[in-house]
Structure 1
Amino acid sequence: MVFTSRAGGVSAAPYESFNLGAHVGDDPAAVAANRARLADILGLPEERFVWMEQLHTNTVTPIDAPSATPVEATDALVTREKNLALCVLVADCTPVLLSDHTAGVIGAAHAGRMGARNGIVKNTVDAMVELDAQPSRIQALLGPAAGGESYEVPDTMAADVEKHLPGSRTRTKRGSAGLDIRAGLVRQLMSLGVTHIDADPRDTITDTDFFSHRREGVTGRQAGVVWMPDV
């Protein structure tokens, strides 16, 4: 399991430099070069990386083979296929990587506000269980994302998300209504029986090592990647 930052690539402003998103207006050649660099660093063939057409849904797609194009209209992938790298792109949303090494099952979820509210992570765990994973064995890693001290939203929105994802409502450092999606997801995962959880505390809104849609508007995307080695 790995998370990238915005450093180490070839993209020009405002996507500088390690942008892995092909849908944000960056030069396609730069994105291709960055993805090739990622594959080289991880030691996997480029064709083994599977990307998603992320639409803030709660849809999970099981896959068992590489895909030459992004998997359509899904915000999570699960697989038992070895050396198949599942990729999630983010720039404030929470990337969630999941793995049951005993069952040989992995998952990757794009948990933005709407997806998290509507159960994308729960659905991903359920899909992994259908492939013989057990919640007690699943390891979960939540990557850098919008932090509760910075993620300011209307009070009604905070209340709505809290109703569906308890533990996510908070107050920003300004004292306004805010959301800490990672906190809500950690609570949800624990309620599902997933207790091996690590959450990167870095806030993409304030940490310039990462792309942030909230901070920058037009910007690139970093990635979370999970794969099961064939050993």
Structure 2
Amino acid sequence: MAEVLTSEALNGVPHGFSTREGLQGEDVLPGAPMVKLDQVHSAEVVIIREAGGDVRTGDAMVTDRPGLLLGIVTADCAPVLFADLKAGVVGAAHAGWRGARAGVLENTLEAMEELGADRVRIAAAIGPTIAQESYEVDAAFRSEFELADDPFFRAGHGGHFQFDLPAYVAWRLRAAGTGRIADLALDTYADESRFHSYRRATHRGEETGGRQTSVIALPSLD
């Protein structure tokens, strides 16, 4: 069985963040179908009612239907899993800097509330993500953000910066009123033995298709 990482913030909710080995639905909720999206670094959220059909485009999903695994893939971007167990609503978001900047996290909270969740009860867990020490960006990247976002940038060498994506994600979740936020604090770039990293592979001229999978579901009623 593959290693499946979990967060105490989501205790009682079937969920998991994979390592580079990946995971199958059976590793988290046996018998449950997995739903995935065509991820495009957007702020679009899809409400999932059933598995199957055409693959939908977006970067976050929410559902109130038990027994459906919501699955997202990442390789440096932040995978964020959400749950309001009392309301019976869960969500999953792919939050790279573009999606987070555009509001994918806030839109996920709003979509969960449409299904009856209360954001003060929602727990959000941030999975393996590129850390600030590994995320060097240039001045053009910095210009995509506001001056108020200065705390998430640290001066680097030669006019570059180090960007703290997981802290930025956590800040946006906190500002939106999320009840509980947890970060596994695992660096995809630095931990080559455990995680794929798009940036690391690009720097080395290696194949960049490797991804981690993160999933969450409401327990089946069976």
- Picking from 43, 48, 55, the partner of 2:40 is 55
- Residue identity matched to 2:34: F
**What pairs with 1:143-182 in structure 2 (closer than 5 Å)?**
143-162=127-146, 167-171=151-155, 176-182=160-166
Using the size of structure 1 for normalisation, the TM-score is 0.80
| CA separation of 1:135 and 1:183: change in aligned 2, threshold 3 A | same
Question: Does residue 151 of structure 2 align to residue 137 of structure 1?
Answer: no
Q: Deviations along 1:49-93, whole A, 9 cap, x unmatched?
A: 0011000011001011112553x2210001100011001100001
In structure 2, runs of 5+ residues without a counterpart are: 1-14, 203-207
Root mean square deviation, CA, Å:
2.2
Q: Report how many aligned residue pairs link the two structures.
A: 201
Q: Which position in structure 2 is the counterpart of 1:42?
A: 28
| CA separation of 1:162 and 1:5: change in aligned 2, threshold 3 A | farther
Q: Deviations along 1:189-225, whole A, 9 cap, x unmatched?
A: 1111113111111111111110001001323111110
Q: Check whether the contact 2:156–2:162 (CA below 8 A) recurs between aligned residues.
A: yes
Of residues 100-109 and 173-182 in structure 1, the stretch that sits farther from structure 2 once superposed is 173-182
Q: Check whether the contact 2:16–2:28 (CA below 8 A) recurs between aligned residues.
A: no
**What pairs with 1:1-231 in structure 2 (closer than 5 Å)?**
1-7=15-21, 18=22, 38-45=24-31, 48-70=33-55, 72-162=56-146, 167-171=151-155, 176-208=160-192, 209-217=194-202, 218-230=208-220
Percentage identity across paired residues of the two chains: 34
Q: Which position in structure 2 is the counterpart of 1:10?
A: none
CA distance in 2, matches of 1:126, 1:170: 31
Deviation of residue 175 (structure 1)?
8.4
CA distance in 2, matches of 1:163, 1:45: 48
| CA separation of 1:134 and 1:203: change in aligned 2, threshold 3 A | same
SS in structure 2 at match of 1:114? helix
Q: Check whether the contact 2:16–2:215 (CA below 8 A) recurs between aligned residues.
A: yes
SS in structure 2 at match of 1:161? coil
Using the size of structure 2 for normalisation, the TM-score is 0.83
SS in structure 1 at match of 2:178? coil
